[in-house]
Amino acid sequence: MLVYTEKISERIRYSFETVLRERLGIAFSFTDDEYFFEKYDGNKINYSKKKFKKCLNILPVGLLHERGINPAWNNTYCNDEEPTLPSAYPEDIFSAIFYHLSSYREYVRTALDKHGRTLPDKCALMHKVPIVDMWIENFSMHLNQVFPDLTIKKNKYSAISTIDVDTAYAFSNKHWAIALGGYLKSLLNLDIETIKLRTSVLMDNEKDPYDTFEYLQNVHNCMDIQSIFFFLLADYGRHDRNICWKNKNYRKLIKEISSQSEVGIHLSYHSVDDMDRMKKEIFRLESILEKPVRKSRQHYLRLRLPITYRYLEALGIEEDYSMGYPTEDCFRTATSFPYYFYDLDQEKKLNVKIHPISYMEITYQHYKKLSPEQALICIRQKINIVKKYNGSLVSLWHNESVSEYKHWKGWRKVFEEAMNNMMK
Ligand SMILES: [Zn+2]
């Protein structure tokens, strides 16, 4: 495939590579030579305002020829209308897709929650379905009609279970001061049941409720599900309540998990714009695993665009699993497929692949206050949508949410059903 454009910008290169090469498996090259393009006999796309014969003409709207942020594009791509499929080309889907994958509107709109996370706007709420995936599917059918001899890759549905380990154990393996604080808190709340359980766990008479790792691995193995565990190895703080990274049982657990599953770093609450902190935490995991760490997820799904990704790239992280809204189960960048991050401030593609989150259990349990039964309905819908577009499903659970402890009673069933549905 030959693509003609008057000027090959970084944005054009990124968008065409993502859509044509990565998603549709179409090899292509660019040319800015009008004469060469006209004479070329094979399949060709013209991405310019000029008109050519015997090719697919796509009229650029201008976004991919600009640099920097122009808020006016939000009116084009993020308005009150339901997103629709282009009825006919030359509609510029390369710009529309770039707008979503680059998180363009997040550079303009800055409504944040108390943790400094971008709140989903009206536009995001329309992305309960991954519209970028719909557009690409539709475009692929159009390409098939225009170029009958063109081979287009068929994507296959894939699913992965990811587990965040914020607190590996509820009571055991904690510093004595933290354990004492826990006792005092329970006393103040007259929570006798927790006092009993804590004592029983500490005396080794009962299993720690958050120690669900064997169960999780059993479910994954039984259903033949690929999994990644992200471990928090932060300095202890208000939002980082992990077991100390020096604790030998915690280190042993991480090592054991890594023999069956992939393991990544769960970067701490304050790491989001702190490269030294990121580096320290990645190093801690590398020292436990005795190998380089390439996968990460931000704790609380906190992201600062584009700085978090710039730091991740500099520290050798190749794949990130943080792209999702904690409060809503919509596709934050309107796609379920992995794609490379585009840094709009530097105008370049970064070597960090983003794996968008399809759903997180806390969205339903904590933010939407749904019952396990209601959550399961939502999760099933989400799985069906990803299957429909042959996308990549990334589920997000925590070790504590399958503990059947306190507010997580009844959620094991949801986890098992969800895993079963993912693999059916
Ligand atoms: Zn977390």
- Dihedral angle computed from the Cα positions of residues 222, 224, 225 and 231, in that order, rounded to the nearest 10 degrees: 60
Residue 298 alpha carbon to ligand 1 centre in Å: 7
Residue 398 alpha carbon to ligand 1 centre in Å: 8
Residue 92 alpha carbon to ligand 1 centre in Å: 38
Predicted TM-score (pTM) of the model is 0.95
Q: What is 177-202 written as a DSSP string?
A: HHHHHHHHHHHHTT-HHHHHHHHHHH
CA distances from 142 to 74, 152, 204 (A): 27, 11, 64
Q: pLDDT value at position 99?
A: 95
Residue 266 alpha carbon to ligand 1 centre in Å: 7
Let me know: does 298 contact 277? Beta carbons within 8 Å: no
Residue 269 alpha carbon to ligand 1 centre in Å: 8
Average pLDDT, the chain: 94
3-state helix, strand, coil in the chain (%, to 5): 45, 15, 40
Per DSSP (E only), the strands in 234-379 are 262-267, 295-298, 319-320, 339-343, 348-354, 359-360
Residue 19 alpha carbon to ligand 1 centre in Å: 32
Residue 53 alpha carbon to ligand 1 centre in Å: 54
Amino acid at 88: A
Rounded to whole angstroms, the Cα distance separating 389 from 391 reads 5
Residue 360 alpha carbon to ligand 1 centre in Å: 11
Which residue ranges in the chain fall short of pLDDT 50? Answer: none
Residue 334 alpha carbon to ligand 1 centre in Å: 23
pLDDT tens column, 202-221: 888 899 999 999 999 999 99
Residue 113 alpha carbon to ligand 1 centre in Å: 16
Q: Residues 372, 378, 381, CA angle at the centre, nearest 5°?
A: 140
Residue 350 phi, psi dihedral angles, 5° rounding: -100, 155
Residue 176 alpha carbon to ligand 1 centre in Å: 23
Q: What is 158-170+208-322+357-423's CATH number, 3.40.1160.10, 1.10.10.10, 3.30.1490.120, 3.20.20.370?
A: 3.20.20.370
Q: Three-state SS for 229? A: strand
Residue 375 alpha carbon to ligand 1 centre in Å: 20
Residue 132 alpha carbon to ligand 1 centre in Å: 28
Residue 210 alpha carbon to ligand 1 centre in Å: 14
Residue 324 alpha carbon to ligand 1 centre in Å: 13
List, by residue range, all CATH 3.20.20.370 domains of the chain: 158-170+208-322+357-423
Residue 105 alpha carbon to ligand 1 centre in Å: 25
Residue 179 alpha carbon to ligand 1 centre in Å: 21
Q: How many CA atoms lie within 13 A of 282 on its CB side?
A: 22
Residue 307 alpha carbon to ligand 1 centre in Å: 19
Residue 348 alpha carbon to ligand 1 centre in Å: 29
Let me know: does 356 contact 34? Beta carbons within 8 Å: no
Residue 301 alpha carbon to ligand 1 centre in Å: 7
